[in-house]
Chain A
Amino acid sequence: MNDLKPTNSFSFPRMVQVIKRTFALNMRTWGTGTLVVLGALLLFWFFPLLLGREPWHQFISGNLIQPALFFYTVGGLFLTSAVFYELHSPDTAFLTLTLPATNFEKLASAWLITSVLYTVISAALYAALVLILHVFSMFYVGTEIPFSLYQLESSEIGQTLISYFGYQSVFLLGAIVFRKNNFLKTLLGIIAFMIVTFIIIGLLFLVFKGSMFEGSYTVQISSNDLFTTLYPVFNALIVIVILTVSYIRLKNKQVA
């Protein structure tokens, strides 16, 4: 049991132990959440049947990936918002704050769980669900149906992943900063940030163009231009900045 050396520098085995701890303590909640999402996806699959359409037709059309991506994003952001729930109550904060691991290990564990591991597990669960539904459909139809796991353009999945990793870091920061209603407060923070950004842009237009709404301005982004290439890099930089801020906030977190 005592295989962790108390070093002050980064320790991979200790981070793995923190990950195990986080998983074990949240397993019930996350398990329930997973069942809810799987149930909702099944409903999406069965819904056309209720409307008189064949379920396998819906399935073959590949529309299940759309709700799956939606649930992946929203579920992941909810999960991220609650990952530091122990920190915000004086009755539980000691469990995290006095846990003999570095702040970096605590943050890295939370990030890994709610981003990389969450994505891998979600993808695996989705694949398993699709496979089961495929087998079920084949059995129901009685003929072979062409199997395709992800019937969306891979770029759409990629875009969702990039967006998720970006927003996820913001929600991780919100999970550390806000004491209650972390999800809603972070969402509010993002909306407020966007409104302020639009106001600033509007004011800049007002200053330089004379009117905020004069004319129309269209930003065209083609799939081949530089923006598309640089977007993941820009997103990664933002994630790094937000994670650094999260680390500082976690390091300075105090609970009476």
Chain B
Amino acid sequence: MVTIKNLSFAFIKGELLFNNLNMELEAGRTYGLFGLNGAGKTTLLNHISGMLFPSDGSCIVNGYATRERRPETLSDLIIVPEQFELPPVKLDIYLSLHAPFYPNFDENQMRDLMDRFVLDRSKLLSKQSYGQRKKFLISFALAANTRTLLLDEPTNGLDIPSKSQFRKVMAATNNEDRCTVISTHQVRDLESMIDKVTVLHKGSIIFDQTIESITDNLSFQRTDELTDNAIYWEEVLGGYQIISENIQNREEQPIDLEMLFNATIESTEKLNRAFKSVEAE
């Protein structure tokens, strides 16, 4: 669905942000794209949406390079940026102007989503709060029913009930044809929605595993003392929270995505070794 092949890119000549980045995104999955500030998450989404062009390599969506900005590709792809401004028109006007470009746009679904997010139709979009505008854009993106959906920090600026509503809406609108990429810092907000974790660090993908694989290979525990098989640990009140290899193949345990992210940054090799050793067996 989305193929990123040997992608290299630099904002400043000589300072590569991506160096031969490779990635394959499949339909029916929701990817959590994580990374530190400046890791290039937004830049990667901008490449996938065709707003930026690779200096080298390619970014292909549904068989076509996104840099070509073909209408067929763009009508099946939508991005909700983290920072954005919307024009000074009312919601319904915006819909009448933009929805016709998306062949699978579902008006009833849009109306339902606007009701769920309690959006005010009487106000101009430019006069609405950031959170309201974001909810509108998320609703539009979901109702467009494109096969590629890119969400950059979707929960930023949403209040607590809206975050919960967002999770429900995402679950309700999930479909097998859609490839969703969610870039975020707020891992806890989206834990339940993601089925593949991708960590971008210093221009490379340093971790790329499905939730199933993580559950099979890693164990998230709270212990009183540090154990030898701990890959990564964090001190918590009265003990340690550890990530270790799931050698005993225990029952499924809840994944702490925030801790996993920290582990990928600080113990990249050890963590990936845990997956390789199981694959080798």
Contacts and interface: CB of A to CB of B under 8 A. Distances in A.
Contact of B99 (A2, A90, A93, A251): A2
Contact of B97 (A24, A251, A254): A24
Contact of B93 (A24, A103, A254): A24
B45 to A, nearest CB: 10
Contact of B75 (A6, A17, A92, A97): A6
Given A99-B74, A100-B75, A102-B71, A254 B51 contact: yes
B49 A98 contact: yes
B172 to A, nearest CB: 21
B51 A98 contact: yes
A89 B86 CA distance: 12
Interface range for A: 35 or more
B81 A1 contact: no
A180 interface: no
Contacts of A91: 81, 83-85
Contacts of A25: 87-89, 97
A256 interface: yes
A254 B280 CA distance: 43
Nearest to A23: B97
A94 interface: yes
A11 B101 CA distance: 12
B107 to A, nearest CB: 6
Contacts of B81: 90-91, 94
A14 to B, nearest CB: 7
Contacts of A53: none
A101 interface: yes
B79 A2 contact: no
Contacts of B85: 89, 91-92
Contacts of A7: 71-72
Given A1-B100, A25-B87, A254-B53, A100 B71 contact: yes
B102 interface: yes
B105 A8 contact: no
A94 B84 contact: yes
Given A1-B96, A255-B51, A98 B78 contact: yes
A252 B51 CA distance: 10
A28 to B, nearest CB: 6
Contacts of B88: 25, 28
B91 interface: no
A102 B77 CA distance: 15
B38 interface: no
Contact of B101 (A8, A97, A101, A103): A101
Interface residues of B, number: 40
Interface in A1-52: 1-8, 11, 14, 17, 20-21, 24-25, 28
Contacts of B77: 98
Contacts of B83: 90-91
B100 A3 contact: yes
A25 to B, nearest CB: 4
Contacts of B11: 256
A8 B99 contact: no
B100 A17 contact: yes
A127 B153 CA distance: 52
Contact of B69 (A1, A93, A95, A103): A103
B103 A4 contact: yes
Contacts of A28: 88
B99 to A, nearest CB: 5
B84 A1 contact: no
Contacts of B71: 6-8, 11, 14, 100-102
Given A24-B93, A101-B71, A103-B69, A6 B100 contact: no
B250 interface: no
A94 B45 CA distance: 11
Contact of B74 (A92, A93, A100): A100
Interface in B53-112: 53, 69-72, 74-79, 81, 83-89, 93, 95-105, 107
Given A14-B71, A90-B83, 19 more contacts: A1-B99, A1-B105, A2-B103, A2-B104, A3-B100, A6-B75, A6-B101, A6-B103, A91-B81, A94-B79, A95-B87, A98-B49, A98-B79, A99-B74, A100-B75, A100-B102, A101-B101, A256-B42, A256-B46
The list of the 3 closest CB pairs from A to B, nearest first, reads A100-B75, A100-B74, A6-B75
11 contacts: A1-B99, A2-B105, A6-B76, A8-B70, A25-B87, A28-B88, A98-B69, A100-B102, A101-B101, A256-B42, A256-B52
